[in-house]
Amino acid sequence: MIKIPHTEFKFTFSRSSGAGGQNVNKVNSKASMTWEMEVSKSLSSFVKIRFTEKYKRYIIDSNVVIHSQKYRSQAQNIDDCIAKLHELIADVEFPQKARRKTKPTRGSNTRRLDKKKKDSLNKKLRRQKF
Protein backbone atom coordinates (compact mmCIF):
# COMPACT_ATOMS: atom_id res chain seq x y z
CA MET A 1 0.00 0.00 0.00
CA ILE A 2 1.29 3.43 -0.94
CA LYS A 3 1.45 6.01 1.85
CA ILE A 4 1.07 9.70 1.00
CA PRO A 5 1.92 12.32 3.62
CA HIS A 6 -1.04 14.50 4.58
CA THR A 7 1.11 17.60 4.10
CA GLU A 8 0.78 17.13 0.32
CA PHE A 9 -3.00 17.67 0.45
CA LYS A 10 -4.73 21.04 0.33
CA PHE A 11 -8.33 21.30 1.45
CA THR A 12 -11.01 23.86 0.71
CA PHE A 13 -14.47 23.83 2.19
CA SER A 14 -17.86 24.94 0.97
CA ARG A 15 -21.51 24.43 1.74
CA SER A 16 -22.78 21.06 0.72
CA SER A 17 -26.07 20.44 -1.04
CA GLY A 18 -28.88 18.12 -0.09
CA ALA A 19 -30.71 17.34 3.10
CA GLY A 20 -29.60 18.66 6.47
CA GLY A 21 -31.96 21.49 7.37
CA GLN A 22 -30.43 24.72 8.62
CA ASN A 23 -27.09 23.00 9.13
CA VAL A 24 -26.59 22.96 5.34
CA ASN A 25 -27.13 26.71 5.17
CA LYS A 26 -24.71 27.53 7.99
CA VAL A 27 -21.79 25.11 7.92
CA ASN A 28 -19.11 24.57 5.25
CA SER A 29 -18.95 20.79 5.52
CA LYS A 30 -18.20 19.85 1.88
CA ALA A 31 -14.49 19.07 1.51
CA SER A 32 -12.53 19.48 -1.73
CA MET A 33 -9.07 17.97 -1.68
CA THR A 34 -6.37 19.10 -4.12
CA TRP A 35 -3.21 17.06 -4.57
CA GLU A 36 -0.31 17.82 -6.89
CA MET A 37 0.40 14.32 -8.12
CA GLU A 38 3.26 15.26 -10.48
CA VAL A 39 5.22 16.88 -7.64
CA SER A 40 4.60 14.04 -5.21
CA LYS A 41 7.48 11.66 -4.52
CA SER A 42 5.19 9.02 -3.00
CA LEU A 43 4.26 7.45 -6.33
CA SER A 44 6.44 5.95 -9.03
CA SER A 45 6.22 7.36 -12.54
CA PHE A 46 4.51 4.16 -13.75
CA VAL A 47 1.71 4.51 -11.19
CA LYS A 48 1.30 8.19 -12.11
CA ILE A 49 0.94 7.28 -15.78
CA ARG A 50 -1.63 4.57 -15.05
CA PHE A 51 -3.53 6.97 -12.75
CA THR A 52 -3.70 9.72 -15.38
CA GLU A 53 -4.84 7.26 -18.05
CA LYS A 54 -7.61 5.71 -15.95
CA TYR A 55 -8.82 8.70 -13.90
CA LYS A 56 -8.64 11.72 -16.20
CA ARG A 57 -11.91 13.02 -14.80
CA TYR A 58 -10.29 13.73 -11.41
CA ILE A 59 -7.40 15.74 -12.89
CA ILE A 60 -7.91 19.50 -13.28
CA ASP A 61 -4.93 21.72 -14.22
CA SER A 62 -2.48 18.88 -13.44
CA ASN A 63 -3.91 18.54 -9.91
CA VAL A 64 -6.01 15.67 -8.61
CA VAL A 65 -9.26 17.09 -7.18
CA ILE A 66 -11.60 14.95 -5.08
CA HIS A 67 -14.82 16.18 -3.45
CA SER A 68 -16.81 14.70 -0.59
CA GLN A 69 -20.09 15.82 0.93
CA LYS A 70 -21.22 12.43 2.14
CA TYR A 71 -21.19 13.35 5.82
CA ARG A 72 -22.40 16.36 7.82
CA SER A 73 -19.03 16.78 9.49
CA GLN A 74 -16.02 18.42 7.88
CA ALA A 75 -13.58 15.97 9.48
CA GLN A 76 -15.45 12.93 8.18
CA ASN A 77 -15.53 14.41 4.67
CA ILE A 78 -11.76 15.01 4.84
CA ASP A 79 -11.24 11.36 5.79
CA ASP A 80 -13.59 10.32 2.98
CA CYS A 81 -11.57 12.30 0.41
CA ILE A 82 -8.36 10.64 1.56
CA ALA A 83 -9.99 7.20 1.54
CA LYS A 84 -11.26 7.78 -2.03
CA LEU A 85 -7.78 8.75 -3.17
CA HIS A 86 -6.25 5.66 -1.56
CA GLU A 87 -8.84 3.46 -3.31
CA LEU A 88 -8.06 5.03 -6.68
CA ILE A 89 -4.31 4.60 -6.20
CA ALA A 90 -4.71 1.00 -4.99
CA ASP A 91 -6.65 0.27 -8.18
CA VAL A 92 -3.76 1.39 -10.41
CA GLU A 93 -0.86 0.38 -8.16
CA PHE A 94 -0.14 -2.76 -10.21
CA PRO A 95 -0.58 -3.08 -13.99
CA GLN A 96 -3.46 -5.21 -15.24
CA LYS A 97 -2.65 -8.62 -16.63
CA ALA A 98 -2.87 -8.82 -20.41
CA ARG A 99 -5.86 -10.77 -21.68
CA ARG A 100 -5.03 -13.87 -23.66
CA LYS A 101 -7.27 -14.58 -26.59
CA THR A 102 -8.89 -17.99 -26.37
CA LYS A 103 -10.97 -20.05 -28.76
CA PRO A 104 -14.27 -21.65 -27.77
CA THR A 105 -13.95 -25.27 -26.68
CA ARG A 106 -15.23 -28.14 -28.80
CA GLY A 107 -17.90 -28.88 -26.18
CA SER A 108 -19.22 -25.31 -26.15
CA ASN A 109 -19.40 -25.32 -29.95
CA THR A 110 -21.38 -28.58 -30.04
CA ARG A 111 -23.74 -27.32 -27.30
CA ARG A 112 -24.33 -24.10 -29.26
CA LEU A 113 -25.03 -25.97 -32.50
CA ASP A 114 -27.32 -28.48 -30.74
CA LYS A 115 -29.30 -25.60 -29.22
CA LYS A 116 -29.61 -23.97 -32.65
CA LYS A 117 -30.93 -27.21 -34.14
CA LYS A 118 -33.42 -27.63 -31.29
CA ASP A 119 -34.67 -24.03 -31.58
CA SER A 120 -34.97 -24.41 -35.34
CA LEU A 121 -37.02 -27.58 -34.91
CA ASN A 122 -39.32 -25.85 -32.39
CA LYS A 123 -39.95 -22.98 -34.80
CA LYS A 124 -40.54 -25.41 -37.65
CA LEU A 125 -43.22 -27.22 -35.64
CA ARG A 126 -44.99 -23.92 -34.92
CA ARG A 127 -45.47 -23.12 -38.62
CA GLN A 128 -48.90 -23.61 -40.14
CA LYS A 129 -49.21 -26.32 -42.71
CA PHE A 130 -51.44 -25.56 -45.69
CATH number at residue 17: 3.30.160.20
Residue 111 lies inside a defined structural domain of this protein: no
What is the three-class DSSP state of 101? coil
Per-residue confidence at 17, pLDDT binned at 50, 70, 90?
Answer: confident
Residue 118 lies inside a defined structural domain of this protein: no
The 10 Å Cβ neighbour count of residue 21 is 8
Quote the percentage of the chain above a pLDDT of 90: 31
Question: Average of pLDDT values for 56-70?
Answer: 88
Residue 100 lies inside a defined structural domain of this protein: no
Number of domains in the chain: 1
Per-residue confidence at 122, pLDDT binned at 50, 70, 90?
Answer: very high
Question: Average of pLDDT values for 30-42?
Answer: 86
pLDDT for residue 73: 83
Residue 63 lies inside a defined structural domain of this protein: yes
The DSSP 8-state label assigned to residue 42 in this structure reads: S
For the segment 4-13, what is each residue's pLDDT rounded down to a tens digit?
Answer: 878 888 888 8
Residue 31 lies inside a defined structural domain of this protein: yes
Q: What is the CA radius of gyration of the chain?
A: 26
Residue 119 lies inside a defined structural domain of this protein: no
Question: Average of pLDDT values for 94-117?
Answer: 94
Q: Which residue has the higher pLDDT, 26 or 100?
A: 100
Q: Print the domain residue range for 79.
A: 6-92
Per-residue confidence at 20, pLDDT binned at 50, 70, 90?
Answer: low
pLDDT for residue 10: 86
Residue 62 lies inside a defined structural domain of this protein: yes
Q: Which residue has the higher pLDDT, 18 or 113?
A: 113
